[in-house]
Structure 1
Amino acid sequence: MKGVRLPQRRVEALLAEADVRPGGERDWDLQVHDQRLYARLLARGSLGLGESYMDGWWDARALDELLVRLLRAGLERRVHGIGEIRDVLLARLANPQSPRRSREVARRHYDLGNDLYAAMLGRRMVYSCGYWRQAADLDAAQEAKLDLVCRKLGLRPGMRVLDIGCGWGEALEYAARRYGIEGVGVTISAEQAGHARRLCAGLPVEIRLQDYRELDEPFDAVFSIGMFEHVGVRNYREYFEVVRRCLVARADAGPGLFLLHSIGGNASVRRTDPWIARYIFPNSMLPSAAQVTAACEGLFVIEDWHNFGADYDRTLQAWRDNIEAAWARLDARYDERFRRMWRFYLAGAMATFRCRRSQLWQIVLSPHGVPGGYLATR
C-alpha cells in the first residue's frame, strides 16, 4: 500500500509548487477520476498528462489556467518520460521535416476535415494569430492581420506574390481583391488546396499542391504565414535560400520583400513537446530568434521584427469558443476522445502564450536592404 501511494505523494508535492491541489475547489485544481494517473504522470511526463486527459482520467474546470500554473512552475522540466528521451535522440539523428516526412503533418492535421476548421476559425479560415490592436472580434482581428501583411510588403496592383504554405487561400484571396496582386500559393495539404482553389476562383491566383523546396521562379514579394513552424532546424537555411532565389527587386515593384509570420520560442530546441508531436503537429518545432538569424545570415537584411505574441492567447480563446459551440453539429468522427484532445491542444497553446513561453513574430526581410531604410508598419 505504501508503494501505491508513493507516486501520488510525489505528484501532489510537485503540483503544490504550482499552487494546484488534486480535488481542490478552485477552477484550476485537478479533479482526479482514476488513481492510476499519478504513476502515469511520473512515467510519461507531458505525454502522460495529455494522454490521461484524453482518456478522461482527470479534469479541471479552467484547463488553460491549470496548464499556465504547471508551466510557470517549470514542472515539465522536472518529469521526463522515456518517450521524450527517444524523441531527443531521433531529432539529433534524423531530419523529421524531409520532403517525404513533411507531408505527415498534412495527412494527420490539416486534412482532418474542412468542416472542423470552418467551425473553429471563423468567417475567414485563417489558422494563425489575429492582430487585435484595434479589433473587437476574431473576424476583424484576422482581417487586420491580413491587411498588416499586405501593408508591410507594400503590395500594389500588378505585383506577383508567393504565399509559402497558403493554407485555405484566405491571404492570397484578400491580397488579390484588396491590393490587385497576382499570386501563387503552395501547400502540401490536399484539403487546403481544394478549398483555396474554390475560394480564389476567378482571381489571378494559382494554388499548387507543392513542397516549398521545389520553387524556383521570380516573385516581387513573398510571405509565409504560420508555416515555418513545420520547416525544422535542419532545413531553415534551405528555406531561406529558396525564398532568396525566388525574390526579385524591380524598379517598378519595390525592393523584393519577404514577410515571415511564425510562432517562435525563447530558446533554441530541436524538437517539439512529445504530446504535440504525437497528436497534433508531427515533425514540428518552434524556431528561436538565434536559429532564424543564423539561417538567414548573408542572404537577407532584417528590416523589421514585430512581436505580438500576446494576441495569440486571445485568438486561441476565440477558436475555443467557436469549436465548443459547434461540437454538436459536427461529424460523429470527432468523438469524445478527439474533443478532449482538441481541448487540451487549445488550452496548452493558450498557456504557452499567456506565460510568454511562445511568441508570434512578423519579420520583414530584404535581399539587399531597402534604399533609405524600411518604414515599419503597425
Structure 2
Amino acid sequence: MHSPDMPRHAEPPRTIGLLLAEAGIRVNGDAPWDMQVLDNSLYQRILLHGSLGLGEAYMDGLWEVERLDEFFHRLLRRDLNEKVGGWLRWRLIASILRHRLLNPQSPGRAFQVGERHYDIGNDVFQAMLDPTMSYSCAYWAKADNLADAQRHKLELICRKLELQPGERLLDIGCGWGGLAHHAATHHGVNVVGVTVSRQQLEYARKQCADLPVQFEFQDYRKLEGSFDKAVSVGMFEHVGPKNYPAYFDTVHRMLADQGLFLLHTIGDYTTTRATDPWMEKYVFPNGKLPSARQLTEVLERRFVIEDWHNFGPDYDRTLMAWWANFDAGWPRLRNRYDSRFCRMWKYYLLSCAGFFRARQGQLWQLVLSKRQRSATYRSVR
C-alpha cells in the first residue's frame, strides 16, 4: 500500500508530529503504541479530515500500531482530541451547528442506529459478548471473567431497583433481553421491553418466550402504561440533549409515585457540543454522550437523585474482553464480513478502551425517584 513516489519513512508534517510527540508517540518507533506508517497519504487524510481521516486510514490499512488501545489512551489522556478539534475548527463548527439546528435523534431518525449498528448481525455480537448478550459495561468488583461480571451487573441493577415479585418493570432499550430475562427469572417481575432493533427484538422474544416478558419494536416517546420500576441500560447515549426533557418526562409519567428508575449510561467528563465524526459515521449514528451538568440540569424539578455510582474504569476492562472474544471468533465471521469491517470493529473497541482508560469516558448508574416517594433509599454496591 506504500506509494511508490514517496519515501516510506517520510517525516510527518510538523503539526502532526508535535501532537503525537506530546502524547509520547513516535512515527515508526519501537514502542507498542507507536504509529507505523505504511502509506504517507495518511498525513493528508489527517490534515484534511482529522479523526475521521485517521480512522478511515486505519480501516484502509494505511497505518498500524501494536497496541491500539494504548495509542488512544496516550492521545486522549492529553486531551489531544480537543486540540485537533480546534485545529480543524471549521469541521468542529459544522458538527456543533448540526446538533444545535437539527435534532439528530428525532422520532424520524430514532431507528437509524438500530438499522446501521445493532442489526449488522447477531453473529457478531454473539461472538463478542457474554452468554447474557449484555452490550454495556460489566461490573468487575468481584468478578474475574466477563460472564460473571455481566451477571453481577444485572443483579446489581435489580438490587438497586429493589425489585419485588409481581412488580411491572419497564426496560427502555432492552437489547437482546438479558436484563429482562434475569429480572423475571430471579426476581419474579413482569417486564415490558422496547428496542429500535429488529434483530434484537427477534432474539429477545425467543430467549424470554416462557417468561412474563414482552418486547416491542418502539421508540420510547410512544410508550404508554404504568410501571412500578423502570430501567434503561446503554440506551441514553442515543437520546440526544434536545430530547432529554421528553425522555425524562416520559419516564416520570409512567413511573409509580413510590417507584424507582435506574439510568445506566456512558458519560463524558466535560460538556461537548460535537461528536466524534468517525464514531458517528461508522458505529453510532446520531449518538451523543451526556455530561454530568447536562443530566443535573434536566433532572432538576423532574426527579430526585437517590444515588450516582461511577465505575467508568470497568468499561476499559469490558471492552478489552469484548475485543479478545471478537478476535478469537473472527475465523467464524470472516466468510460474511470483510477485513475492512474487522479493522473498523477493532478500531471501535480499542479506541473506546483508550477513551475510558484516559478517563474522558465515565460509566454512571443513577437511581432516580419522584419527589412523592416517601421511603429512604439505601445505596447498593
TM above 0.5: yes
Cα deviation, 1:51-77, whole Å, max 9, x if unaligned, reads 110110000001110111111222222
Structure 1 gap ranges (5+):
250-254
Asked if 1 retains the 8 angstrom alpha-carbon contact of 2:77 and 2:359, the reply is no
Choose which of 361, 364, 375 in structure 1 pairs with 2:364: 361
Tell me the equivalent position of 2:240.
232
Runs of 4+ in 1 over 4 A off after TM superposition: none
Structure 1 residue 36 displacement after superposition? 1.1
Tell me the equivalent position of 1:117.
125
1:44 aligns with 2:49: yes
Structure 1 residue 6 displacement after superposition? 8.2
> Alignment RMSD, CA only?
1.6
* Larger displacement relative to structure 2 (58-67 or 290-299): 290-299
1:208 aligns with 2:204: no
1:308 aligns with 2:316: no
Cα deviation, 1:304-328, whole Å, max 9, x if unaligned, reads 0000111000100100000000011
- Distance in 2 between the 1:270 and 1:15 partners? 25
1:371 aligns with 2:379: no
Q: Secondary structure at the match of 2:231?
A: strand
Structure 1 residue 269 displacement after superposition? 2.2
Tell me the equivalent position of 2:144.
136
Cα deviation, 1:245-282, whole Å, max 9, x if unaligned, reads 01013xxxxx2000000000111223321110010000
Choose which of 79, 85, 95 in structure 1 pairs with 2:93: 85
Q: How does 1:27-42 map to 2 (within 5 A)?
A: 27-42=32-47
Cα deviation, 1:4-63, whole Å, max 9, x if unaligned, reads x78523322221111111111110011000011112212211111111101100000011
Q: Secondary structure at the match of 1:291?
A: helix
Which residue identity is paired with 1:28? W
Distance 1:83 1:339, change over 3 A: farther
1:317 aligns with 2:320: yes
Choose which of 18, 23, 32 in structure 2 pairs with 1:13: 18
Asked if 1 retains the 8 angstrom alpha-carbon contact of 2:77 and 2:360, the reply is no
Tell me the equivalent position of 1:285.
288
- Distance in 2 between the 1:375 and 1:175 partners? 20
Structure 2 gap ranges (5+):
none
TM-score w.r.t. structure 2 length?
A: 0.94
Asked if 2 retains the 8 angstrom alpha-carbon contact of 1:42 and 1:79, the reply is no
Paired residues, number: 371
Tell me the equivalent position of 2:114.
106
1:191 aligns with 2:199: yes
Tell me the equivalent position of 2:190.
182
Tell me the equivalent position of 2:344.
341
Distance 1:57 1:6, change over 3 A: closer
Percent identity over paired residues = 53
Distance 1:78 1:269, change over 3 A: closer
